[in-house]
């Protein structure tokens, strides 16, 4: 309580004491407004009575005696806490020169140097651009039109029609998105987003003004150096109605949803071009991205304030964090600290769950931001910002909390809670440091190089079957004879026609007068012979032979004298000696793959049991391209790839080719089957895996 004198200071006359909604426990509460700092302080009955009975210049002990006589009891410690509150928040007059000097020194100490300020604020920097309060008052009568039930009903009707029409033209609707990837499309996207976000903020501003709150500033905020618009609606705290405050918070998202409905309707009627593309952006991407950011209750955006108002909870995050820290210290450290505030059990549980969820969310958010600033800035600045992000926003809060734990250790005795926590901690440490089975899983493809599915070349009937299922055949063996009655009929027809033409040719050949006719007959005979040769080739193709040595798998639904559809395979022939398993190993796992190592191939389909394998070769050079599309991310596989200008699949990571031999495998029904090759690697603990990956990442990124 340093800086508090023995006499009561004067409270500033410019402060405003405003009536407020009841507190969470139903008791009366007020709001103390500081117009100089534009800050609001919620106070309860005790603080209100102290302000009401305040006597500036009175000795502290005399003041306590006076107010105790008026049936209001407070001890010296409680009064000093209140004095500390009004002094630290500069709610008192600096009536003396030394007090002014003290305020000046406090202000100077609170100021941060540029780099320290940037360190604290680069995640979220506000730059006010406009003071719109007067303009909002002058134009509120126009904005009131958009709050009417008639307007809202009209918008929803348009939106319903637009959605129906968009669903009818769904393919055209989704194809509009591809236009956004052009330079012109990106420009119009930017304009659309600025337009939507401006109306979003005006939605907050006009709604605040509608319910009597002032809007002192609007401007641009930089969220991790990314510009977003903002509206200062702090004055809405003076509004007693929780429902009205909630409407102010939700107004921006409502505006975007209304815009999306109108834009969806307009998209169906606008001609192809700029306006149609802008309508598509407003109808889809802009408001979806807004919801993803604004709806989150874990950051201080619309979602957070909506949750605060909906649960009627002021200062949600500070109170939740305090409650969660108390809960963790009590149940893990075993401390007997008093609860920060006495609340119903359901409210306590809500605070604890919310705080822990926020910490988890922020951990991954700050981690993501750390990688974002690293990859999207030049490397030296990226490393610097990455270290700041990790140390300042993740490691430092953990360090501060652990420091408090160590300070409390001398006062903590062993009890059931901390003994249980210690056992759990030991179990977790053991889990992290104990070497565990290290199965290396590699995407793989099983294929036979010599493989064919045999179809009838033409519509025909089975004449003769010379094979059985599973039979081993040699190259050139006759497997199946087919016949085409239509083809045989045509061959016989052409043979008779050729024979007839030859007889006629012999008759006219002796006469010089019939020389021209003889030439015509010879050409006709030649044409018929060529047609017959073509039909004979068809007949020969109906004798199906083996193109290579292999095993037959016959479709048992086909029998002698049965007609065959050319689209349906009659049997499969493959060479078991040509079966090969090709897998792709990540660079980090390559050192664990050894020649002749035993593994198992697990197919993605349920056709076979796992197949025993043995590693035959491992490439020394990573593959730039992946030749098996089914294994890549574009086609649902696990290997991350992208397409180049020639539609080749370029691997995003370093993968090495691994070939394996199959043990006693004699069945395959398709030319390729995809799955996973599992190989037992060197047992590693979780700590080892994390360390190795961290070292590999450091080595990879250490080059400048």
* Tokens matching residue 41: 């302080």
Instruction: Assign domain 451-571 one CATH number from 3.40.50.720, 2.130.10.10, 2.140.10.10, 2.40.50.100.
Output: 2.40.50.100
Query: What's the pLDDT at 352?
Result: 92
Q: CA of 485: how far to CAs of 461, 480, 494, 533, 674, in Å?
A: 8, 16, 14, 16, 43
Neighbours of 160 (CB within 10 A): 13
Domain ranges of the chain: 16-111, 118-311, 313-433, 451-571, 578-701
pLDDT-derived band at 76, boundaries 50, 70, 90: confident
Q: What percent of the chain has pLDDT over 70?
A: 85
Helix or strand holding residue 218 (H, E)? strand 218-223
Q: For residues 18 and 35, is the Cβ–Cβ distance under 8 A?
A: no
- Over 90: is that where the pLDDT of 353 sits? yes
More confident residue, 114 or 145: 145
SS3 332: helix
**Exposure of 603 by Cβ count < 10 A (0-12 exposed, 13-18 middle, 19+ buried)?**
middle
**Exposure of 475 by Cβ count < 10 A (0-12 exposed, 13-18 middle, 19+ buried)?**
exposed
DSSP conformation letters of 654-695? -EEEEEEEESS-----SSEEEEEEEEEEEEE-HHHHHHHHHH
Q: CA of 12: how far to CAs of 15, 291, 490, in Å?
A: 6, 42, 115
Instruction: Please compute Rg for the chain using Cα positions.
Output: 41
Distance CA 155, CA 148 (A): 11
Q: For residues 571 and 553, is the Cβ–Cβ distance under 8 A?
A: yes
- Over 90: is that where the pLDDT of 116 sits? no
Residue that the structure tokens 């990442």 belong to? 697
Query: What's the pLDDT at 443?
Result: 93
Distance CA 276, CA 176 (A): 9
pTM for the model stands at 0.59
- Over 50: is that where the pLDDT of 2 sits? no
Query: What's the pLDDT at 102?
Result: 53
- Over 80: is that where the pLDDT of 423 sits? yes
Mean pLDDT of all residues in 195-202: 90
Query: What's the pLDDT at 290?
Result: 65
Which class is domain 578-701? Answer: mainly beta
Highest mean pLDDT among 67-76, 99-108, 638-647, 680-689: 638-647
Per CATH, 451-571 and 578-701 having the same topology is answered: no
- Over 60: is that where the pLDDT of 615 sits? yes
Query: What's the pLDDT at 1?
Result: 44
Q: CA of 209: how far to CAs of 130, 143, 150, 233, in Å?
A: 15, 10, 21, 9
Residue that the structure tokens 């509004």 belong to? 239
More confident residue, 29 or 213: 213
- Over 70: is that where the pLDDT of 560 sits? yes
Query: What's the pLDDT at 357?
Result: 92
Mean pLDDT of all residues in 427-436: 86
Query: What's the pLDDT at 26?
Result: 66
What's phi and psi for 542, nearest 5 deg? Answer: -80, -5
Query: What's the pLDDT at 3?
Result: 44
More confident residue, 618 or 665: 618
Query: What's the pLDDT at 444?
Result: 92
- Over 60: is that where the pLDDT of 174 sits? yes
Q: For residues 337 and 326, is the Cβ–Cβ distance under 8 A?
A: yes
**Exposure of 335 by Cβ count < 10 A (0-12 exposed, 13-18 middle, 19+ buried)?**
buried
What separation, in Å, do the N-terminal and C-terminal C-alpha atoms of the chain show? Answer: 53
What pLDDT, in 10s, does the model give residues 595-612? 888 888 988 876 677 888
What pLDDT, in 10s, does the model give residues 631-677? 888 888 888 888 888 888 888 888 999 999 887 665 655 567 889 99
- Over 80: is that where the pLDDT of 616 sits? yes
Q: CA of 82: how far to CAs of 35, 89, 147, 598, 656, in Å?
A: 20, 11, 43, 75, 69
What pLDDT, in 10s, does the model give residues 493-536? 888 888 887 777 777 666 655 666 777 777 777 888 888 788 78
* Nearest CA-CA partner of 628 in 363, 468, 449, 444: 444
Q: Identify the weakest region by mean pLDDT among 22-31, 42-51, 413-422, 565-574.
A: 22-31
Q: CA of 431: how far to CAs of 425, 492, 589, 688, in Å?
A: 10, 83, 21, 12
pLDDT-derived band at 319, boundaries 50, 70, 90: confident
Mean pLDDT of the chain: 80
SS3 525: helix
Residue that the structure tokens 């007949």 belong to? 539
DSSP conformation letters of 237-276? GG---HHHHHHHHHHHHHHHHHHHHHHHHHHTTSPTTHHH
pLDDT-derived band at 101, boundaries 50, 70, 90: low
* Nearest CA-CA partner of 558 in 640, 456, 639, 627: 456
Distance CA 289, CA 303 (A): 14
SS3 472: strand
Helix or strand holding residue 378 (H, E)? none
Mean pLDDT of all residues in 73-88: 79
Q: For residues 370 and 450, is the Cβ–Cβ distance under 8 A?
A: no
What pLDDT, in 10s, does the model give residues 230-249? 898 888 878 878 888 889 98
Q: What percent of the chain has pLDDT over 90?
A: 8
Mean pLDDT of all residues in 2-8: 61
Q: CA of 649: how far to CAs of 439, 584, 626, 641, in Å?
A: 27, 14, 6, 6
Q: Identify the weakest region by mean pLDDT among 61-65, 311-315, 457-461, 551-555.
A: 551-555
């Amino acid at each position: 309580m340093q800086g508090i004198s023995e006499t009561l200071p004067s409270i500033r006359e410019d402060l405003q004491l405003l009536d407020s909604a009841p507190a969470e426990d139903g008791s009366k509460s007020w709001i103390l407004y500081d117009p100089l700092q534009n800050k609001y302080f919620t106070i309860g009955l005790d603080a209100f009575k102290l302000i009401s009975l305040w006597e500036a210049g009175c000795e502290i002990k005399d003041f306590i005696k006076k107010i105790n006589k008026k049936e209001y009891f407070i001890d010296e410690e409680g009064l000093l806490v209140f004095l500390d509150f009004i002094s630290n928040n500069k709610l008192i007059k600096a009536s003396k020169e030394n007090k002014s000097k003290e305020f000046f020194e406090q202000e100077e100490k609170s100021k941060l140097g540029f780099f320290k300020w940037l360190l604290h604020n680069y995640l979220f920097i506000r730059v006010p651009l406009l003071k719109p309060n007067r303009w909002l008052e002058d134009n509120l009568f126009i904005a009131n039109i958009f709050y009417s039930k008639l307007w809202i009903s009209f918008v929803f009707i348009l939106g319903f029609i637009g959605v129906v029409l968009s669903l009818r033209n769904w393919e055209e609707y989704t194809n509009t998105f591809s236009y956004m990837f052009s330079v012109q499309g990106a420009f119009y996207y930017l304009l659309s987003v600025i337009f939507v976000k401006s109306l979003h903020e005006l939605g907050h501003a006009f709604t605040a003004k509608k319910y009597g709150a002032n809007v002192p500033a609007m401007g641009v905020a930089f969220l991790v150096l990314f510009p977003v618009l903002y509206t200062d609606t702090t004055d809405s705290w003076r509004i007693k109605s929780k429902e009205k405050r909630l409407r102010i918070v939700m107004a921006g998202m409502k505006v975007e949803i209304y815009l999306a409905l109108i834009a969806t309707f307009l998209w169906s009627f606008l001609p192809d071009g700029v306006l149609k593309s802008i309508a598509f952006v407003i109808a889809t991407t802009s408001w979806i991205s807004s919801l993803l950011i604004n709806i989150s209750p874990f950051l201080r955006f619309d979602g957070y304030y909506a949750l605060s108002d909906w649960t009627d909870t002021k200062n949600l995050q500070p109170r939740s964090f305090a409650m969660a820290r108390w809960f963790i210290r009590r149940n893990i450290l075993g401390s007997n600290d008093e609860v920060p505030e006495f609340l119903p059990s359901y409210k306590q549980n809500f605070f604890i769950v919310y705080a822990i969820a926020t910490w988890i969310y922020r951990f991954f958010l700050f981690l993501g931001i750390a990688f974002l600033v690293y990859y999207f800035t030049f490397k030296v600045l990226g490393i610097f910002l990455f270290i700041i992000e990790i140390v300042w926003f993740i490691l430092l809060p953990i360090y501060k909390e652990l420091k408090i734990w160590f300070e409390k250790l001398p006062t903590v005795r062993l009890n059931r809670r901390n003994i249980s926590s210690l056992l759990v901690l030991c179990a977790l440490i053991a889990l992290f440091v104990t070497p565990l089975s290290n199965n290396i899983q590699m995407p793989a493809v099983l294929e036979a190089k010599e493989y064919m599915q045999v179809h009838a070349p033409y519509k025909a009937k089975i004449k003769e079957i010379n094979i059985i299922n599973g039979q081993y055949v040699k190259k050139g063996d006759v497997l199946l004879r087919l016949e085409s009655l239509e083809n045989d009929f045509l061959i016989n027809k052409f043979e008779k026609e050729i024979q007839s033409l030859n007889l006629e040719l012999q008759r006219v050949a002796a006469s010089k007068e019939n020389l021209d006719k003889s030439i015509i007959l010879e050409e006709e005979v030649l044409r018929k012979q060529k047609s017959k040769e073509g039909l004979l080739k068809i007949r020969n193709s109906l004798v199906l032979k083996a193109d290579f040595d292999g095993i037959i798998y016959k479709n048992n639904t086909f029998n002698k004298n049965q007609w065959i559809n050319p689209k349906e395979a009659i049997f499969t022939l493959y060479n078991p000696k040509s079966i090969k398993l090709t897998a792709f190993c990540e660079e980090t796992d390559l050192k664990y793959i050894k020649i002749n190592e035993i593994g198992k191939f697990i197919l993605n389909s349920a056709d076979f049991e796992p197949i025993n394998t043995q590693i035959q070769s491992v490439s020394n050079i990573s593959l730039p391209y992946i030749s098996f599309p089914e294994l890549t991310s574009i086609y649902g596989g696990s290997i991350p790839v992208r397409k180049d200008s020639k539609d080749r699949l370029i691997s995003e990571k370093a993968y090495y080719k691994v070939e394996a031999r199959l043990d006693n495998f004699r069945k395959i029904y398709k030319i390729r089957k995809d799955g996973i090759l599992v190989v037992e690697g060197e047992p590693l603990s979780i700590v080892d895996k994390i360390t190795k990956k961290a070292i590999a990442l450091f080595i990879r990124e250490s080059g400048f």
